[in-house]
Structure 1
């Protein structure tokens, strides 16, 4: 008789006791038989650890970091201490639904080439709408702009069943990321250069460069509050998004292609900087400038900038793997959205995707 795989839900927390109080009960109601729930704490000072320990005892394991290592560093340190066949990296502000684990694991168990997957992610406070960070699966265009099925830029769609078919995507949202533990170890986990934002896209891209699949599972739904750590108006988030997007291209695109794409992106980012200034958002404009400065400086400080874990894994890369490009959009999503006014994923021609 075959045994079911072990699954560990790992929630990274930093001063989020209010989210733990609100959302942990739904996670505890999960029905997967061999389930381990772990709260990894990034050096919180709000009583989070004491709350979880007193409220849940041995039902939830707490792993504490000595300080805040960010999303990437915090997860890397916690996951290294968890043994399971599958990890689910779950944001602390996610409400899960009954049976949310079963269909995703069934999908992954059916195909060894599936390394990572994500459920349908909807908005907690607008429950019929998709949520910005993940929606119905992530894609990326030929200039490295990420977007989602159900969300193009700031335009979020209502869920009317239009994306109820599971399938292969380019990246799975880090808000509720299912990943095989062996694939996590094979890639070295998150690259800590990213700190937060787009680290899951980098991880998925590295997996796809090894030939693995990344999937969207429409039969599983979670609700994401969003903005729990950095809201959309935060200049630091602007900085991370612009800097990390450039890091993403440099790391994962073939060198010749990345050189011209990054050069072109610098000009497009400059236009974004001008737009921020025109809107009176000087802090965001400065964030774009700082992002470029940081990215350029990284060329001269690579030995210190890149995470040790990632560098170690780079020595073991297997160049014979054929990259899996499914989910790559061969056109510019910027042109399609802003110029051609295609504001829905369904407006895009399926033939323009790998």
Structure 2
């Protein structure tokens, strides 16, 4: 008998997103993958998401959660209850294309150390442009700044096929993340202290330290609205990004790096905060100040999800720029990934 393809549980974490489910869930149902279980885990929505799904999509499995746990804990709670070979974590505001899952599953099935991957993520509102949250696969610079093939800080490139080769990356986007279920749990899942933002980068860092490989598979294409819950420029989002990035560095860097890189990053954060204040964005300034205070609170009082294996110097991992991205982008005016990262 021919071997069955792996079972994939596609899990959408929903919070008051009925309009997104109505718009994008039909494309998910038409994915065309043979063994696909579609699950919507609901973070205690106050809209009529669950009633709508029960009426219009009875084939979708519903997992109501008792409260809004955020992205990290919401997925952790939901995935404890789902048995599958792979988890496909998908934002509710993503339009997928027919046959998008097969190339990613095939890529991960090539070797047991291939643990996770993402598709090429383009902007829903401008489908020729890479989307901010992941683009064609995530990288990190030597000081912890995330960027991606096709996106450096806020500059998103046009997709002209320049990143269509499957490639190992540092992190795969949580907007559309295919991951082996066993590896997700072995790494401890998402760090629930993060609540939301950069929790997938932290998870991918831990997976690399466990000897696993992460990829972008551009033969799979999806379109992401982005900012569905917290839009870019939102003070809460700014706070979470700056706080969580410092926590991620403190958790995963070896002591030989963290003792000087974290103060250096805090200095750069402070410069960014003052720049925002002088340009009239007081909310941005306050969010960064609060993020630094919250990081200090985490150092002394926060719960810790430590790395299960020995930490390595950051530049020994895949998908790491050995230079400072801030200098490359803002001083040397290198906008594109291909300009920052020379092959």
> What TM bracket, shorter-length normalisation?
over 0.9
Q: Distance in 1 between matches of 2:71 and 2:310?
A: 29
- Please tell me whether residue 328 in structure 1 is matched to residue 329 in structure 2: no
Contact 2:321 2:341 in 1 (8 A): no
**What does residue 42 of structure 1 align with?**
43
TM-score (norm 1): 0.94
CA offsets 1:260-293 (integer angstroms, 9 cap, x no match): 1001011111101101111111111111000000
Number of equivalenced pairs: 341
Contact 2:209 2:310 in 1 (8 A): no
**What does residue 229 of structure 1 align with?**
229
Match of 2:335 among 343, 349, 352: 343
Q: Distance in 2 between matches of 1:206 and 1:36?
A: 27
**What does residue 263 of structure 2 align with?**
263
Q: Distance in 2 between matches of 1:321 and 1:254?
A: 6
- Please tell me whether residue 6 in structure 1 is matched to residue 35 in structure 2: no
**What does residue 250 of structure 1 align with?**
250
Secondary structure of residue in 2 paired with 1:246: helix
- Please tell me whether residue 82 in structure 1 is matched to residue 82 in structure 2: yes
**What does residue 146 of structure 2 align with?**
146
Contact 2:118 2:178 in 1 (8 A): yes
Q: Distance in 1 between matches of 2:15 and 2:229?
A: 9
**What does residue 21 of structure 1 align with?**
22
**What does residue 204 of structure 1 align with?**
204
Q: Which segment drifts farther, 121-130 or 280-289?
A: 280-289
CA offsets 1:115-159 (integer angstroms, 9 cap, x no match): 110000000000111001100000000010000110111111000
Q: Which runs of 4+ in 1 moved over 3 A?
A: 318-324
Contact 1:210 1:321 in 2 (8 A): no
Correspondences of 1:1-354 after superposition (within 5 Å): 1-57=2-58, 59-302=59-302, 305-306=303-304, 310=305, 317-319=308-310, 325-350=317-342
Q: Distance in 2 between matches of 1:187 and 1:350?
A: 31
CA offsets 1:53-74 (integer angstroms, 9 cap, x no match): 11111x1000010110000011
Q: Say what the alpha-carbon RMSD is for the aligned residues.
A: 1.5
Q: How far apart are residue 2 of structure 1 and its match? A: 2.1
Q: How far apart are residue 166 of structure 1 and its match? A: 0.7
Q: Distance in 2 between matches of 1:253 and 1:350?
A: 25
CA offsets 1:315-354 (integer angstroms, 9 cap, x no match): xx24499986110110111111111111111113435xxx
Q: Distance in 2 between matches of 1:256 and 1:247?
A: 16
Contact 2:209 2:309 in 1 (8 A): no
Q: 1:50 to 1:332 in 2, by over 3 A?
A: same
Q: Distance in 2 between matches of 1:200 and 1:161?
A: 25
Contact 1:136 1:150 in 2 (8 A): yes
Structure 1, unmatched stretches of 5+, are none
CA offsets 1:99-123 (integer angstroms, 9 cap, x no match): 0000000000001111110000000
Secondary structure of residue in 1 paired with 2:57: helix
Contact 1:108 1:115 in 2 (8 A): yes
Contact 2:329 2:340 in 1 (8 A): no
Q: Distance in 2 between matches of 1:326 and 1:318?
A: 17
Structure 2, unmatched stretches of 5+, are none
Q: Distance in 1 between matches of 2:118 and 2:55?
A: 31
